[in-house]
Amino acid sequence: MVSVATLLLLRHGRTTANADGGLAGRQPVELDETGRAQAGAVGERLRPVPLAAVVTSPLIRCRQTLELALPEVDPVPEEGLVECGYGTWEGQPLKKLAKEPLWPVVQQHPSAAVFPEGEPMAAMAARAVAAVRSWDAQVTAEHGPEAVWLACSHGDVIKAIVADALGVHLDLFQRIVVDPASVTAIRYTPLRPFLVRLNDTGGDLTGLVPPPRKRRRGGARAAGAADSDAAVG
């Protein structure tokens, strides 16, 4: 595979809304005790990984997750990673929302879903994908193709980014599972993205750090290095 930067997508830890079965949306809900423990645990997993950049949704649950996981880091807020704007659905119990006529559309045809006084899901997906691709290009240009960087965001946002990486329609993104405090890894090669890891809640993350490229004398790439972006063998 062509050597490229590696994006780690981190979902925030569990919140009080997650625990109560509510739709938080862009409300300032915070991590509960379980979420705080999850943030600390994922921080232990991330500590050995050299992160070239850390960006985050500006919502407090993401900022709290990073404060606990990576207290030495000053993350950059990125509006493109903010939660979907659920409009009047925000703050309501999911059990109540499941009776709304829009609910089956959200679950089965989300590309057509527009939340009342809120955001279309397709618009959320487009701005989230644009944000991570722009940051990935910037990190690669500034830190080189072996760089690893992290973006902390929300479940639906990460699912939309994963769907784009897999080349599947947004209408299939509800089949993707992204748990609180999970890590998902993507590499954007010149020809196509690769989903390297999905919904990882306990694995060793150091294996996601690309090894330095081998070079011959004079700086040329080592003989036999692949020109394709495909994983071979």
Tokens 């993401």, residue?
62
Complete DSSP assignment for 32-53: -HHHHHHHHHHHHHHTTS-EEE
Domain residue spans of the chain: 6-203
d(CA 201, CA 183): 7
Q: pLDDT band at 221, cuts 50/70/90?
A: very low
First-last CA distance in the chain: 11
Q: Is 14 annotated as a binding residue?
A: yes
Mean pLDDT throughout 164-177? 98
To the question of whether residue 11 is assigned a binding role by annotation, the answer is yes
pLDDT tens, position by position, 25-74? 999 999 999 999 999 999 999 999 999 999 999 999 999 999 999 999 99
Q: Is 17 labeled as ligand-binding?
A: yes
- DSSP letter assigned to residue 176: -
Q: Does the domain at residues 6-203 carry the CATH identifier 3.40.50.1240?
A: yes
DSSP 79-103: GGGSPP--GGGTTSBHHHHTTSTHH
Residue 201, annotated as binding a ligand: no
15: annotated binding-site residue? yes
pLDDT of residue 212: 73
When pLDDT is cut at 50, 70 and 90, the band that residue 229 belongs to is low
Query: What is the pLDDT confidence band of residue 127, given thresholds at 50, 70 and 90?
Result: very high
pLDDT of 8 higher than 60: yes
